[in-house]
Amino acid sequence: MSDANKEIEPELCKVTDALGILVGKWKPVILLHLLGNGTQRFNELKRSLPGITQKMLTNQLRELEEEDIIERKVYAQVPPKVEYSVTDYGRSLEPILHAMHEWGSKHTLHKQAKKNEQEAEAEAK
């Protein structure tokens, strides 16, 4: 049996571990920005994420850095310059993020179709 077809034993499931790294309103979006746009400075990221606070962005970046998903590079200059980029290891998440985006898009359409169907049934009564 190939690895792709192997059943995952629930008690050994590592989905929770993976989600622990990616879960949060901002982490997937931060990663997609860095994957799509390459290395960015803190303020560039902040501008591309309307609604995120400086504290939240700092926390999310630190957590991703702790997991070796992103890299923080500090330049010794005045004013200080700090850049963030996805590590080679972090790039392994790209197909997962794209798959989750695709599923999320399909799920949104599914939910809307279901809602439309229910509304049509209610009107028919």
- Whole-angstrom CA distances from 104 to 92, 98, 101, 109, 110 are 20, 10, 5, 9, 10
Instruction: Catalogue all structural domains in the chain, each as residue range(s) with its CATH number.
Output: 3-124 (1.10.10.10)
Helix ranges (H only) for the chain are 15-22, 27-37, 42-48, 54-66, 94-124
Task: Dump pLDDT digits (tens) for 21-58.
Answer: 888 889 999 999 999 999 999 999 999 999 999 999 99
Q: How confident is the model at residue 1 (pLDDT cuts 50, 70, 90)?
A: very low
Q: Which position has the token pair 């860095």?
A: 34
Q: What is the pLDDT of residues 63-110, one digit of tens each?
A: 999 999 999 999 999 888 999 999 999 999 999 999 999 999 999 999
